[in-house]
Amino acid sequence: MKKVLVLHTGGTISMVQEDSGVTLTKHHPLSESVNIIPDDISIHTEEIFNLPSPHITPKEMLFLKERIQKGAAEGYDGVVITHGTDTLEETAYFLDLTVNERMGIVLTGAMRSSNEIGSDGLYNYMQAIITAADAKSKEQCVLVVMNDEIHAARFVTKTHTTSVDTFRTPTFGPIGILSKHEVYFIKEVVEHGILDINRVDGKVVLLKAYAGMDTCLFDMVIDSNVDGLVIEALGAGNLPPFVLPKLKEIIDKKIPIALVSRCSNGIAQDIYDYPGGGVQLKQMGVNFVKGLSGPKARLRLLVGLNAGLKGSALNDFLTI
């Protein structure tokens, strides 16, 4: 008998549609759904939070990480976290960075509340439990299961505001599928460094580049005494030349800068050698983070700083 710990955190999967809009309920719609679980899996359920996902912060993510570690010590084979979809990918990636226990860890959610026609929550929940209990999932780091697809937390993202097919992995695609409640992995997740942190202190901010960008946002970064900066740059990793003096000022203050592309496909690289191009930015000391979105690069930098990484060790962690 496989044992799976289920942690409910809120989100649409725990909500109902009312005349005023979709709203949280006091009684979780999935709490009576044990009859859908396969006979060879036992579950223990905890409602650890009841929050819309825009209310989730790294502090809640850290609490989940600690509960998962406790669950591993209690002998669970896997963990399922039900979560609102707006920030699900960020919680998944935070756990991917910080949990080293070898167990199936799966996040899932819903795009339609429990009383809407075509509600997807119960089905996603069942498939997530099956995936978490599967022995093969222990080798795949943290996973997101939605709409019969299995995605790696590192690269998955929400691509549509309302569609049940919203979670995709740009460039790389899903790493597995579910068919008739069977788990099939078609790819393996590459290890990318795990840090067991116990705090999430500091301020790491995220800026998105745009045509004609000036220095006002960089002035705010300098005045706010931030601990780290992430930039979603243009194209392969370029910035308007007007911001370079302020960028250098930030670098001179020893504030680490991580750079990703604002494009949804591809990776950031130092290709172009013109003022503001990637070649110049890398020479200035900007860290090019490969394949991550801005929000995930922000979490990676935050985790690295809270692990005490500095200088070349932090640079190596960011650019794996």
- Number of folded domains that form the chain: 2
Q: How confident is the model at residue 36 (pLDDT cuts 50, 70, 90)?
A: confident
Q: How confident is the model at residue 18 (pLDDT cuts 50, 70, 90)?
A: confident
Say how far apart CA 84 and CA 31 lie, in whole Å: 16
- Residue 313 Cα distances to 15, 153, 286, angstroms: 43, 23, 14
DSSP state of 118: T
181 and 232 in a single domain? The answer is no
**Cα torsion angle, 124, 52, 298, 217, sign:** positive
Report if residue 190 sits inside a domain: no
Report if residue 51 sits inside a domain: yes
**Which pLDDT value is given to residue 34?**
63
85 is in an annotated binding site: yes
86 is in an annotated binding site: yes
CATH number, domain at 135? 3.40.50.1170
Report if residue 197 sits inside a domain: no
147 and 264 in a single domain? The answer is no
Report if residue 194 sits inside a domain: no
Q: Please give the residue range of the domain that contains residue 129.
A: 2-185
20 and 146 in a single domain? The answer is yes
**For 67-76, what is each residue's pLDDT tens digit?**
999 999 999 9
Q: Which of 185, 217, 233 marks a domain boundary?
A: 185
What does pTM read for this prediction? 0.95
As a whole number, the mean pLDDT across the chain is: 93
Q: How confident is the model at residue 212 (pLDDT cuts 50, 70, 90)?
A: very high
CATH number, domain at 256? 3.40.50.40
Phi, psi for 142 (deg, rounded to 5): -85, 140
10 and 90 in a single domain? The answer is yes
82 and 152 in a single domain? The answer is yes
172 and 211 in a single domain? The answer is no
Report if residue 122 sits inside a domain: yes
What percent of the chain shows pLDDT beyond 90? 82
69 and 218 in a single domain? The answer is no
Q: Mean pLDDT across the stretch 246-252?
A: 96
User: Does the annotation count 82 as an active-site position?
Assistant: no
Q: How confident is the model at residue 180 (pLDDT cuts 50, 70, 90)?
A: confident
308 and 163 in a single domain? The answer is no
Catalytic residue among 9, 12, 87, 108: 12
53 is in an annotated binding site: yes
Catalytic residue among 9, 82, 85, 98: 85
Q: How confident is the model at residue 299 (pLDDT cuts 50, 70, 90)?
A: very high
178 and 140 in a single domain? The answer is yes
Q: Higher-confidence residue: 32 or 153?
A: 153
User: Does the annotation count 12 as an active-site position?
Assistant: yes
